[in-house]
Amino acid sequence: MANQAQASTFPSGNATAGDSDTNSNGKRSFPPKGQPQITGFNRIGLWSLYIKEIRRFLKVQTQTVWAPAITTLLFLVIFTVAMGRSGREVLGVPFATFVAPGLIMMGMMQNAFANASFSLLSGKLQGTIIDLLMPPLSEAELMIGIVAGAMTRAVMVGGAVAIAMSLWPGVEMQAAHPWAIIWFGLMGAAMLSIIGLLASLWAEKFDHNAAVTNFVVAPLSLLSGTFYVISNLSPFFQAISRVNPFFYMISGFRFGFLGESDIGNTNEAVIGAAIGVGVLNLVLGFVTYRVLKSGWKIKS
């Protein structure tokens, strides 16, 4: 009798404790499939994804951080020693000092693209993309985590290159306008991270990703005024250079170090480019978010 009485009171007590999970018949009801149960911003999940991205490239930091720094430093060696340009001045400074900021920015952008373009693509090819799609992360959180991880790698590579170049004879690393160094450095890394993520959504194999690197990222980086001032070009090619967004990234970053650049020698002259690259990143970010949300090429 005691057991019967206890059994008769148990359902009513259970329904009172969790009446939101039961229907009118007293049976437990579940939310529709696919309906998220974690609302708001998933800070813990986003932080976990960010740490995962950081640990992924730090496990092979010799290849992902130090090797790109040495490769970028070789450009400086070639253009200042092998080509005999050690006595040349550009924008009133030695050529090595002029080219150093551009090389730092180029290394940052290329590695930001490489890191962001690998995450989803490797998951698609290895069948482990479910590890990114299953966790309770929204599309925005997934994009922020991958882009933030790629930007962190870019900053590490830029720091390694800057330290190496500061020790190179003939290079003077100064910070005439720190705000420009920070802004254009982060905006350049963010732009290539977003483009890398978009490329990984489109790519179906590593050859596709390499094609974007070889035919888009590398040419735009090398033809953006990294090794020269565009005033030496003909008006036609100057106009082409001014359409290249990489030109404003590198010139603005150089302005932060030298106080002079192709886009101006004052804060007022450069602020327009700073706003422009920020707006461009917002547009690219929105496009990538919509593509990611649609599940194009990542959800069956």
What token pair was written down for 19? Answer: 């009446």
Least confident of 45-54, 123-132, 190-199, 269-278: 123-132
Mean pLDDT, all residues of the chain:
85
Q: Count the domains in the chain.
A: 1
Statement: residue 15 has pLDDT above 50: no
Structural domain includes residue 188 = yes
pLDDT in tens, 183-234: 999 999 999 999 999 999 999 999 999 999 999 998 998 888 888 888 888 8
pLDDT for 133: 84
Q: Is residue 22, in this structure, part of any structural domain at all?
A: no
How far is it, in rounded angstroms, from Cα 179 to Cα 48?
A: 30
134 assigned to some structural domain: yes
Model confidence over 25-62: pLDDT tens digits? 666 666 677 666 666 788 999 999 999 999 999 999 99
CA dihedral defined by 23, 26, 32, 36, rounded to 10 degrees? 90
Distance between CA atoms of 192 and 147, rounded to whole angstroms? Answer: 9
Residues of the domain holding 88: 43-294
- Range scoring the smallest mean pLDDT among 85-89, 129-133, 206-210: 85-89
Structural domain contains residue 234: yes
Residue 129 domain flag: yes
The predicted pLDDT at position 12 comes to 42
DSSP-assigned letters across all residues of the chain: -HHHHHHHHHHHHHHHHTGGGB-TTS-B--PPTT--S--S--HHHHHHHHHHHHHHHHTTHIIIIIHHHHHHHHHHHIIIIIT--TT-EETTEEHHHHHHHHHHHHHHHHHHHHHHHHHHHHHHHHT-THHHHSSS--HHHHHHHHHHHHHHHHHHHHHHHHHHHHTSTT-----S-HHHHHHHHHHHHHHHHHHHHHHHHH-SSHHHHHHHIIIIIHHHHHTSSSSS-GGGS-HHHHHHHHH-HHHHHHHHHHHHHHS--TT-SSHHHHHHHHHHHHHHHHHHHHHHHHHHHHTTTT--
The pair phi, psi for residue 47, each rounded to 5°, is -65, -40
Burial of 108 (0-12, 13-18, 19+ CB in 10 A): buried
Among the listed ranges 21-25, 65-69, 183-187, which one has the minimum average pLDDT value? 21-25
Of 3-7, 66-70, 97-101, 272-276, the least confident: 3-7
Average pLDDT on 143-161 reads 95
Q: Is the pLDDT of residue 136 over 50?
A: yes
pLDDT given at position 119: 82
- The answer to whether residue 63 is domain-embedded is yes
pLDDT for res 36 = 61
Residue 24 · residue 17 · CB < 8 Å: no
**Cα-Cα end-to-end distance for the chain:** 56
How many whole angstroms separate alpha carbon 263 and alpha carbon 255? 9
Name residue 94's beta-bridge partners.
89
Name the pLDDT band for 182 (thresholds 50, 70, 90). very high
In a domain, 199, yes or no: yes
If you average pLDDT over residues 65-91, what whole number do you get?
79
Tokens representing 243 are 């359409």
pLDDT grade for 283, boundaries at 50, 70 and 90: very high
Strand partners, 28: 22
User: What is the predicted pLDDT for the residue at 172?
Assistant: 85
d(CA 218, CA 241): 14
Six-digit token string for 42: 């998933």
Contact 152, 73 (CB under 8 A): no
In a domain, 30, yes or no: no
Q: Residue 287 above 70 pLDDT?
A: yes
The length of the chain is 300
Which pLDDT does position 83 carry in this prediction? 58
